């Protein structure tokens, strides 16, 4: 899973203002309300495009697209029909890391963000086909690398969340994992999950 999605909301606000300012500079005849609406739709389009890179085309095309606001609440950019939810890249991390998840994985992510235990015995699937960057393989809430951590970069992968310990026990759990083979992230925490490279 991937770090502080919470910061995305703040980034979106900053981006929207930046877009609006650019528009003011180039076209002073455009009414302020139009500028704001135009900036918002451009930003939303880019966020949706980013989010859709996480899964196979047919999956992300029918998925709901959301972003997380600064306070942890969610904003829906587009309603979907196939039970998958996609989120755009988190700009706080070095690499692109959009993700698409099924309903169970979405509940799991909600538990993680809220620091609550995920429902046990409900297995979920996540796609991260654009890759991902995590601040720590041991701390689910690390926002940036520390003395013992550095950015963990994983290429295109899928993730299995919510399985039993016996499932994760089959795989390596190193703090500094080889990301070219399946490995467990956040082992020993309620948020442990299997990272499965697919390239
Ligand atoms: Cu991941």
User: Model confidence over 15-67: pLDDT tens digits?
Assistant: 444 444 444 444 556 677 888 888 888 899 999 999 999 999 999 999 999 99
Contacts of 100-108 with C-beta under 8 Å, sequence gap 24+, read 100/51, 100/54, 100/55, 100/59, 100/60, 100/63, 100/126, 100/127, 100/128, 101/125, 101/126, 101/127, 102/126, 104/161, 104/162, 105/159, 105/161, 105/162, 108/161, 108/162, 108/191, 108/193
Whether the pLDDT of residue 12 is over 60: the answer is no
Q: How far is C-alpha 73 from the geometric centre of its chain's CA atoms?
A: 14
Per-residue pLDDT, averaged over 5-20, amounts to 46
| Distance from the alpha carbon of residue 195 to the mean position of ligand 1, in angstroms | 6
| Distance from the alpha carbon of residue 159 to the mean position of ligand 1, in angstroms | 6
| Distance from the alpha carbon of residue 45 to the mean position of ligand 1, in angstroms | 23
| Distance from the alpha carbon of residue 193 to the mean position of ligand 1, in angstroms | 9
| Distance from the alpha carbon of residue 150 to the mean position of ligand 1, in angstroms | 16
| Distance from the alpha carbon of residue 61 to the mean position of ligand 1, in angstroms | 20
**E strand map for 32-83:** 64-68, 74-78
**Could you tell me the CA-to-CA distances from 67 to 8, 166, 172 in Å, in that order?**
7, 33, 32
How far apart (Å, rounded) are the C-alpha atoms in residues 165 and 113?
A: 21
What pLDDT was estimated at residue 18?
45
What pLDDT was estimated at residue 11?
46
| Distance from the alpha carbon of residue 153 to the mean position of ligand 1, in angstroms | 9
| Distance from the alpha carbon of residue 72 to the mean position of ligand 1, in angstroms | 19
Characterise 117 by phi-psi region: left (phi > 0), alpha (psi -120 to 50), beta (else): beta
**Sign of CA pseudo-dihedral 46, 40, 2, 7:** positive
| Distance from the alpha carbon of residue 129 to the mean position of ligand 1, in angstroms | 9
Per-residue pLDDT, averaged over 103-123, amounts to 91
| Distance from the alpha carbon of residue 162 to the mean position of ligand 1, in angstroms | 14
| Distance from the alpha carbon of residue 66 to the mean position of ligand 1, in angstroms | 17
Q: What is the reported pTM?
A: 0.80
| Distance from the alpha carbon of residue 116 to the mean position of ligand 1, in angstroms | 19
What pLDDT was estimated at residue 40?
83
For the segment 135-192, what is each residue's pLDDT rounded down to a tens digit?
899 999 888 888 777 788 999 999 999 999 999 999 999 989 999 999 999 999 999 9
| Distance from the alpha carbon of residue 96 to the mean position of ligand 1, in angstroms | 11
Q: Give the relative orientation of helices 7-26 and 32-52 as an angle to the nearest 10 degrees.
A: 130
| Closest C-alpha among 43, 48, 50, 38 to residue 11 | 43
């Amino acid at each position: 899973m991937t770090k502080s999605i919470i910061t995305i909301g703040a980034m979106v606000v900053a981006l929207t203002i930046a877009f609006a300012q650019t528009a003011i500079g180039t076209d002073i005849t455009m009414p302020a309300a139009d500028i704001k609406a135009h900036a918002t739709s451009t930003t939303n389009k880019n966020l949706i495009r980013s989010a859709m890179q996480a899964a196979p085309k047919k999956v992300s095309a029918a998925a709901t697209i959301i972003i997380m606001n600064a306070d942890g609440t969610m904003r829906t950019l587009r309603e979907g029909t196939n039970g998958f939810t996609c989120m755009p890249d988190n700009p706080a991390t070095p690499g692109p890391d959009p993700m698409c998840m099924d309903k169970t994985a979405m509940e799991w992510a909600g538990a993680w963000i809220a620091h609550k235990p995920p429902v046990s015995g409900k297995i979920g699937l996540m796609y991260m086909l654009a890759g991902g960057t995590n601040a720590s393989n041991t701390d689910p809430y690390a926002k940036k690398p520390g003395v013992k951590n550095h950015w963990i970069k994983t290429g295109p992968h899928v993730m299995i969340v919510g399985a039993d310990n016996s499932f994760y026990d089959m795989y390596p759990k190193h703090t500094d994992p080889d990301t070219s083979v399946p490995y467990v992230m956040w082992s020993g925490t309620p948020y442990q999950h299997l990272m499965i490279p697919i390239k």
